[in-house]
Amino acid sequence: MKKQSLMIAGIAAILCLTACDIKDPQQKSSQIKSDQIKSNVVPEGFKKIITVAKKGDEIVIPFTKYQLDNGLTVILHPDNSDPLVHVDVTYHVGSGREEPGKSGFAHFFEHMMFQGSENVADEQHFGLITESGGTLNGSTNTDRTNYYETVPSNQLERMLWLESDRMGFFLDAVTKEKFENQRETVKNERGQNYDNRPYGLLRERVGEALFPEGHPYSWSTIGYIEDLNRADLNDLKKFFLRWYGPNNATLTIGGDMDETQTLAWVKKYFGGIPRGPEVIQPEYTAVTLKQDRYISMEDNVSLPLVYMSFPTVHANHPDEAPLDVLMSILGSGKTSLLYKNLVKNGKSVQASANHGCGELSCQFTLLALPTPGNSLSELETIIRASLDEFESKGGATDDDIERVKAGIVSGMVYGLESVSGKVSQLAAYQTYRNNPNAIGEDVARYENVSQDDVMRVYKKYIKDKYAVIMSIVPNGQGDKIAKPDTWKRYDRAIPDSTEDDSLVLRPGTSDFDRSVVPVSGKNPSVRAPDIYKLTTKTGIKILGTVNDEVPTTTIRLRVPAGQTRESIDKLGLASLTAAMLSEATKKSSAEDLSNHLQKLGSSVDFSTDNKFTTINIRTLTKNLDETLAVAIEQLTQPKFDEADFKRLQKQQIEGLKTAKKNAATTATEVFNKLVFGSDNSFAYADNGIISTLEKLSLKDVIEFYSANYGPSNADVIVVSNLAENEISKSLKTLDVWQGKSSPMPAINPFPELQAGTLYFIDKPEAAQSEIRIGKRALKYDSVGEYYRADLMNYNLGGAFNSRINLNLREDKGYTYGARSFFYGNDFYGFYRAQAGVRADTTADSIVQFRNEISAFGAQGLTVKELEFVKSAIGQRDARNYETPRQKLSFLSEIMTYNLDKGFVDKQNEILEKVSIEELSGLAAKHLKLDEMITVVVGDKATIMESLQPMFKNIVELDEEGKPL
């Protein structure tokens, strides 16, 4: 529900929105009403509602909408461009349907629905989909819960069997044991993502203050721990009976399918599920405040934060679109007022605006984090002055309106790049508007926003209106809040539970044996993308493929100017240099460049990793040449302004301070330094360390750029709807690029691992501990032992239903997720098992990790596990080449390691022939605990005593990994 900058994220934000005004779809030129469709094409039990087809260049997702007799809405979107299907079941229930004292139920059910049903065994849901080469998940927000999977097209019937069984045959399979296990998992999730994350409680506290007590938006989607603790199995069952009927659900299927067969399967599996209670739409009630409410909290953060939240309208309200435009003007990107008044002048490391919307309410928010030396009260004053400035300068400009419109249209096109994206859009529009074909409506409502509209909503909802203003300050610094609190958290009133006699079990019926897992169809034929190779006049290698499904172009330009080019005394220099390239050039200001890109609906982003600085370019193909011109200008003509350098240096330092508050980040970084040595730059975080960053100068940046930012050894990867010759013509603009490059530096010898040692970093009062267990391992090899080792680990820690995750998450409830993996590139590799676990389970979690790794190393795989990995890995290629991003990853692997396209065929041949003896032998070879170290970040006072008997050698380190 969080709305990002429309200029960058485009429609991705809009499509997450909800609306409580539900209307019948209007007939348009591309729509055919159900009475115009021949009745003989509608299967028995269905009513065809509408068909939408694409005409010309309009932005539309073709579909047909049906309704099953039991009220289930069914939307089909055929798309045979890739041999896969995406299935989404969206229930119109989120935390906004919950009652006071019963928060978190919708999210709890998201977890419970993966725990098996009458005919689906525990873990079988994950097992079948993973074994099919698919991926799956679920999500909950204030207004809906959805479950989705992307699988090879031959698995569609199985997916419908799985989804229907948990819709209609679920409750009798729910046990007290499953209930308690998932309650612990949800509590771990809350600990990891809310209670123990810096600023994690921000929106929960603001919601309490903004909405009246008892309003369902006054609590977070995950709910309160005390409500979860108080809930019993009967409470959850009643919630399911109330909201999870087919008449409150939308089944959306997109991809490579036979529509007639698909409808027959839908009728077979869903037709016998009875309707649930009737569901009325949520009722919007305006939220008002009689005065500003100042609230505050201390938290384990490095920087204070001030956050202002104004109540506005609800999703799909006529004023939502102009409020979004106002949001962009005030706080989205380098063209915004908050950027100019807070970030550009170095007063804040971050400042932004947002307009998050739900069915019951929207919030217009403004946020800022000060640089050291600036106070929250000063930032609040500047934010309020920025609002006044907007009005005094006449409000929105033509440029502002143009940027928003460009962002919307381009975002819609980008959303068509995957079948999952199209299905998600159809499902959301149906759920919130009863009209899957609402893309055109969204385009129209934003294109019709005028300058007068923006000023009108500013005066109506923001000017001189009251807000919730929250301060979050570091622990022990309560005197640094913006203003003293004027509102106190209340003790929640928990109403007595009431019985609803209408909520009775609704047993489904079937005329077939549901216990039989449907047989998969014939495996689809999967072919890696065709590839072309080019070389520019200056020797830059280009690797590309044509993706003609959408008129977009994505380019990845890689320069060998990554972290390995840094010296240890200048860590963070590569990252800082890349950041400087996003600022002003010798010809243009950063604001002008940003404005130009946003009006094109394009993005140009610079980032660094171990070896490369990467320029990621994304654009509508019609704007390719203009976008490339901006990217080349940034790459070849940086201004390197001292003020920009100082500001970015401060931001990077503050970012590192914030990262230190994250136990997971600390654990991983310390592990890397222990394994690869503190004298190798790549062992550190990409953005360096504070002590070296503080000493860097603009001269260092200029020298690094001069030494490394040349075309020699650079490469380009392209995915576009343009043909090879057209791409070649556009990329001639690279011929102007000149400069030097440096050779790959020598890698320093790795340290001898003190195997068996526990390295401990104290994080006082941490409710969770981060565990890392591992060692150095294999470098990358596409068809060698590295590839085979990855196959070996898949059942141990690579899949959701791996031994490690099933043990620690599903069986024990210790963690939100646990895994193990091999990672390697061309100059180093490692094996690592890891998890964030509840603090009181730290010692036993390490025991469980050890037991699983040892047993796997000693005994190897089972026959069933060998079959599983062969099936799962063998079929997942069907979803490996769908989107431009996936194609870029495939081409990047080929480019980085000088592979030929046939390496995929060789991998498949290895997979088909690999034996249980070979993989078990690799397990015995690589999974030796006596070669591994253990890193734990946690509360010493709570857990050290339980760890001491397990380790002969314990070394305590600080957050930098230095011995205490």
Distances (CA, A) of 146 to 143, 250, 531, 559: 10, 9, 37, 41
Q: Which two tokens stand for residue 888?
A: 């870029």
Assess if residue 142 is contained within a domain. Answer: yes
Q: Edge-to-edge strand order for the sheet containing 768-776? A: 815-824, 829-838, 768-776, 933-938, 758-762, 954-957
Whole-number Å distance between alpha carbons of 808 and 817: 8
Alpha carbon distance 249, 257 (integer Å):
21
Q: Tell me what pLDDT residue 494 has.
A: 86
Q: Which of 705, 736, 767 is the last residue of a domain?
A: 736
Could you tell me the two tokens for 157? Answer: 């019937």
Q: CA angle, 78 as apex, 75 and 84 as ends, to 5°?
A: 105
Both tokens of 329, joined, read 């003007």
Look at residue 819 and tell me if it is in a domain: yes
Whole-prediction pTM value? 0.91
Q: Kindly give the parts of the chain with pLDDT less than 50.
A: 1-39
Q: Are residues 884 and 780 in the same domain?
A: yes
CATH number at residue 701: 3.30.830.10
Residue 26 belongs to some domain of the structure: no
In a domain, 309, yes or no: yes
State how far the Cα of 563 lies from the Cα of 576, in Å rounded to an integer: 11
C-alpha torsion sign, points 876, 878, 883, 885: positive
Is the domain of 313 the same as that of 259? no
Number of domains in the chain: 4
* Six token digits for residue 861: 């795989």
Strand 46-52 and strand 31-33: the pairing is antiparallel
Q: What is the Cα–Cα distance from 468 to 899, expressed in whole angstroms?
A: 56
CB 602 within 8 A of CB 594: no
Residues 590 and 459 both lie in one domain: no
From 671, 637, 633, 857, select the one nearest 761 (Cα to Cα): 671
Same domain, 228 and 109: yes
Phi, psi of 461 (to 5 degrees): -115, -20
Which of 236, 270, 304 finishes a domain?
270
Q: 21 in a domain, yes or no?
A: no
Indicate if 567 and 601 belong to the same structural domain.
yes
Q: Same domain for 943 and 895? A: yes
- Locate 616 and state its tokens: 């990621």
**Residue 89 domain boundaries:** 39-270
Query: Do 762 and 716 fall into the same domain?
Result: no
Spatial separation of the C-alpha atoms in residues 352 and 362, rounded to whole Å: 17
Judge contact between 763 and 937, C-beta under 8 A. Answer: yes
β partners of residue 250: 73, 90
The Cα 602–Cα 626 span in angstroms is: 10
Asked if residue 787 and residue 722 are part of one domain, the reply reads no
Domain match, 52 and 148 both: yes
Rounded Cα distance between 287 and 358, Å, is: 13
Same domain, 673 and 706: yes
Give the model's pLDDT for residue 9: 30
CA nearest to 185, candidates 88, 114, 95: 114
- The answer to whether the Cα torsion of 52, 53, 59, 60 is positive or negative is positive
802 found inside a domain = yes
Residue 863 lies in a domain: yes
Tokens at 85, concatenated: 């299907």
86 forms bridges with which residues in the sheet? 150, 254
Tell me if 962 is assigned to some domain: no
**How many helices and strands, by DSSP H and E, does the chain display?**
33, 25
Largest CA distance in the chain: 79
Shared domain check, 161 and 118: yes
> Could you tell me if 539 and 453 lie in one domain?
no
